[in-house]
Amino acid sequence: MTSRPRRFDDVSAVRATDDGFTAQVDPGWCVGDKPNGGYLLAMLARAATQSAGHAHVVTASAHFLHSPDVGPVEIDTVVLRKGRSADHVRATMRQDGRPCVEAVMMVAQLEQGSTPYWDRGAPARPSSERDDGVRVPGTTPTGMPVPIMDQVDLRLDPATLGFGAGRPSGSGELRGWLAFLDDAPFDPVSLLFAVDAFPPATFEIAPTGWVPTLEMTTYVRALPVPGPLTILHRAQLVEAQRVDEATTVWDADGRLVAQATQLAGIRLG
């Protein structure tokens, strides 16, 4: 059953309480019955920015300890350091007293219209056209529901879709575009979701089941302009039932706005 689209700001909202914050994990933002890790991290970021003296999360290092169920969660924050240009905040998500996600974030102020001093070490932005992309459906070829894909417009470059026909290329790379269905602009909080929005890059290596994120480090580099994001998602090494993936995100003007590296579990046949 297709989930009715809901605004990202609404499904990732947190409410301050006397003891911290509460939030509600929405069933529409799951893969199967597991909530997306970047979506959960966005909730922690909202709590962190409300606890700190600056507006934007610019780094987040998160450990995913236990996947929460759909429903209410609690978030605790501790300001580790307050500074003139940045604060450091620890945020922990719990459900029924059990820690689910633990993150340390740096909260600062990003300036609109900034430009990089040097960027030749970054990967090249993919040059394919979004209109040629294939939108990822809310159900896998094996029939597993992926409700989150009914909440966003995520399109993949056909050149990286070999896995969809049962013929992965072996490249370990996905390229494509991400937008919200209501065309809401991305901001530093929703960029934390964007870096984790794609299917596993390992799909272009070999078929697998769920590839759960164990740890993810994200840098938000700039405020994005409104419009779809372009995303490059690469697997780098698969070993000992773990894979590390690197993700680079550009805004509609071609500005690199976010980067992430994550370590995930993987089981290959």
Stated pTM of the model: 0.96
pLDDT of res. 144:
81
Domain boundaries defined on the chain: 8-109+128-265
Q: Is residue 1's pLDDT more than 80?
A: no
Bridge partners, 103 (sequence order): 62, 91
What's the CATH fold of domain 8-109+128-265?
Porin (2.40.160)
How far is 43 from 21, CA to CA, in rounded Å? 10
How far is 189 from 86, CA to CA, in rounded Å? 16
pLDDT of res. 128:
95
Comparing CA positions, the residue from 246, 253, 198, 196 lying closest to residue 224 is 253
Bridge partners, 15 (sequence order): 22
pLDDT digits (tens, 9 = 90+) for 86-114: 999 999 999 999 999 999 999 999 999 89
- Type and span of the H or E element at 44: helix 37-51
pLDDT digits (tens, 9 = 90+) for 17-66: 999 999 999 999 999 999 999 999 999 999 999 999 999 999 999 999 99
Q: Mean pLDDT score of the chain, rounded to an integer?
A: 95
Q: Is residue 235's pLDDT more than 90?
A: yes
pLDDT of res. 210:
79
pLDDT digits (tens, 9 = 90+) for 194-217: 999 999 999 999 988 779 999 999
